[in-house]
């Protein structure tokens, strides 16, 4: 931090608290170009912020005052410089929702304790979007007053130029642009007269004294309700298990229904579209900050975003045809290269692969030559039935069939127990690779289902990198 900036923040602190600071600690940089410092004097503490972008600061300071008046838990603004490049805000501590999630998950998996914190957040979201958003001064929004066509095209082209091109994903540019236009037209048909927080994710929620507080809403503008919910529930590295996502989605709708009448079917359909554009916006950021600026933190988020994308594509039912976009996203979601990047060398990577015995057991690319091979052929085969022949173990009908087979449940319990034993020991000893392979006759139904189930179990219970591959599908 520049010495002039530091002195400006120290002067603000002295003017507000009436005493000289005895501690000045720079805080780690985030995804923006703003700079933050924790400033203290005895039991007085504040966060000093500096940002040369005065219009962005004006948005944050105006929103903060309005939200506080509406009873929304946000940091109090203590003081600001005359030129509005620096300001002091309440110190909410160091624990973000993401920090809490990460620490708790390592001890007890994605437990009810984590879900309870998310429900506290979602109980506030409709109040921010609807009640506080109703009388907000949208003239200070920056850079746009609404999440309009221009904003959406910025996000989509951000994804195209900073992710697709840098990740070397081939596409037909004109066809993709045509799909972008159809996609934005569809999203703009959703009601957009609410406050859109824009970056509503686990790192922008602080936990303090049993309550939740919201920060970094300076990019807010008018928009659809679905966007912020999509941002939170499909937050990449938070990696919320799908059953929990479903529970939280319904909880949010219940909270929203207390304020507004809700058409749940219509809301859900639009929601999937906003999840899609949010994932693409996030990937654009990962590409720019990771591929272009070489910031490893953002690269580590890519594999999580890919899993979200794969799930979404498997359940996409938008009432608009987007052939080139869906094709491109399929290439992204199934890219072995993208799934492997950003993985630190000193963590355990578990490679889970489904395969067909007709084509042999998969090789271990780590070179260790160890791990597990589980034979799924003792389980009743859905491939014998015509209605399942064109489906895989990821499709709902096949999953429902297999979940009714008692041998599948006992098989997975045994698998989880064996793999869990190895994972714990590998983590303890600092090993970096473990291979787990599931084989069946065609590598399409039973092995795919079992591989997906184990991947979910490990992601929800252990701090490991899971690389999931369905060999015969790819």
Mean pLDDT value of segment 213-225 = 97
Give Dmax (Cα) for the chain: 79
Domain limits of the chain? Answer: 3-90, 97-334, 343-470
Confidence of residue 346 (pLDDT cuts 50, 70, 90): very low
Contact 231, 201 (CB under 8 A): yes
The predicted-structure confidence for 41-88, as pLDDT tens digits, reads as follows 999 999 999 999 999 999 999 999 999 999 999 999 999 999 999 999
Continuous H helices in 18-111: 54-69, 97-108
Q: Output the CA torsion 275→214→33→309 (10° steps).
A: -20
Confidence of residue 335 (pLDDT cuts 50, 70, 90): confident
The predicted-structure confidence for 116-163, as pLDDT tens digits, reads as follows 999 999 999 999 999 999 999 999 999 999 999 999 999 999 999 999
pTM score of the predicted model: 0.74
CATH topology of domain 97-334: Aminoglycoside 3'-phosphotransferase; Chain: A, domain 2 (3.90.1200)
Check residues 441 and 304 and name the one with the higher pLDDT: 441
> What confidence score (pLDDT) does residue 271 get?
97
For β-strands 211-214 and 465-470, DSSP reports them as unpaired
> What confidence score (pLDDT) does residue 340 get?
72
Check residues 366 and 136 and name the one with the higher pLDDT: 136
Residue with tokens 């599908």: 473
Structure tokens at 334: 């199934």
| Closest of 336, 333, 338 to residue 314, by C-alpha | 333
Mean pLDDT value of segment 432-454 = 95
What span, in angstroms and rounded, lies between the C-alpha atoms of 41 and 365?
A: 55
What span, in angstroms and rounded, lies between the C-alpha atoms of 384 and 446?
A: 12
Percent of the chain past pLDDT 90, that is, above it, reads: 78
> What confidence score (pLDDT) does residue 343 get?
55
Structure tokens at 460: 């929800």
Confidence of residue 38 (pLDDT cuts 50, 70, 90): very high
Contact 129, 196 (CB under 8 A): yes
Confidence of residue 182 (pLDDT cuts 50, 70, 90): very high
> What confidence score (pLDDT) does residue 379 get?
95
| Closest of 410, 418, 413, 408 to residue 446, by C-alpha | 408
- On average, the pLDDT of the chain sits at 93
Mean pLDDT value of segment 415-434 = 89
Confidence of residue 428 (pLDDT cuts 50, 70, 90): confident
Confidence of residue 229 (pLDDT cuts 50, 70, 90): very high
Q: How far is CA 207 from the centre of its chain?
A: 18
* Exposure class string for 187-208: b at 16+ Cβ within 10 A, else e: beebebebbbbbbbbbbbbbbe
Mean pLDDT value of segment 257-269 = 95
Contact 175, 104 (CB under 8 A): no
From 127-136, 298-307, 430-439, the region with the lowest mean pLDDT:
298-307
The predicted-structure confidence for 92-120, as pLDDT tens digits, reads as follows 999 999 999 988 887 777 889 999 999 99
> What confidence score (pLDDT) does residue 35 get?
94
User: What CATH architecture applies to the domain 3-90?
Assistant: 2-Layer Sandwich (3.30)
> What confidence score (pLDDT) does residue 296 get?
75
Check residues 32 and 18 and name the one with the higher pLDDT: 18
């Amino acid at each position: 931090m520049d010495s002039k900036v530091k002195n400006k923040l120290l002067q603000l602190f002295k003017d507000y608290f009436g005493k000289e600071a005895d501690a000045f600690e720079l805080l780690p940089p985030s995804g923006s170009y703003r700079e933050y410092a924790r400033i203290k004097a005895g039991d007085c503490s504040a966060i000093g912020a500096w940002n040369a972008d005065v219009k962005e600061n004006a948005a944050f300071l105006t929103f903060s005052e309005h939200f506080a008046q509406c009873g929304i838990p946000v940091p109090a603004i203590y003081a600001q410089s005359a030129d509005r490049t620096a300001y002091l805000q309440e110190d909410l501590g160091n624990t973000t929702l993401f920090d809490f999630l990460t620490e708790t998950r390592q001890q007890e998996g994605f437990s009810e304790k984590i879900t309870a914190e998310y429900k506290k957040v979602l109980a506030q979201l409709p109040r921010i979007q609807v009640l506080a958003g109703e009388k907000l001064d949208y003239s200070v929004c920056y850079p746009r007053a609404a999440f309009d066509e221009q904003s959406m095209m910025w996000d989509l082209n951000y994804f195209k130029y900073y992710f697709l091109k840098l990740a070397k994903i081939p596409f037909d540019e004109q066809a993709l642009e045509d799909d972008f236009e159809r996609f934005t037209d569809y999203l703009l048909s959703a009601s957009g007269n609410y406050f859109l927080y824009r970056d509503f994710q686990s790192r922008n929620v602080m936990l303090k004294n049993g309550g939740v507080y919201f920060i970094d809403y300076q990019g807010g503008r008018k928009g659809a309700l679905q966007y912020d919910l999509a941002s939170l529930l499909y937050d990449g590295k938070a990696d919320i298990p799908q059953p929990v996502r479903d529970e939280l989605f319904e909880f949010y709708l219940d909270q929203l229904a207390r304020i507004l009448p809700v058409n749940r079917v219509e809301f859900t359909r639009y929601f999937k579209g906003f999840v899609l554009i949010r994932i693409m916006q996030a990937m654009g950021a990962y590409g720019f900050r990771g591929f272009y600026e070489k910031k490893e933190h953002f690269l580590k988020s890519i594999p999580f975003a890919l899993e979200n994308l794969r799930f979404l594509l498997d359940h996409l039912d938008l009432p608009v045809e987007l052939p080139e976009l869906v094709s491109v996203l399929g290439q992204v979601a199934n890219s072995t290269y993208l799934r492997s990047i950003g993985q630190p060398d000193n963590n355990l990577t578990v490679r889970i692969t489904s395969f067909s015995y007709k084509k042999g057991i998969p090789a271990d690319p780590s070179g260790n030559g160890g791990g597990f091979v589980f034979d799924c052929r003792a389980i009743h085969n859905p491939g014998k039935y015509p209605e399942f022949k064109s489906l895989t173990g990821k499709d709902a009908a096949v999953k429902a069939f297999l979940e009714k087979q008692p041998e599948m449940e006992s098989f997975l319990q045994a698998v989880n127990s064996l793999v869990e034993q190895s994972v714990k020991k590998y983590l303890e000893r600092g090993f970096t690779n473990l291979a787990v392979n599931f084989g069946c006759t065609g590598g399409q139904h039973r092995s795919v289902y079992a591989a997906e189930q184990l991947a979910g179990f490990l992601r929800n219970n252990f701090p490991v990198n899971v690389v999931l591959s369905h060999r015969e599908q790819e």
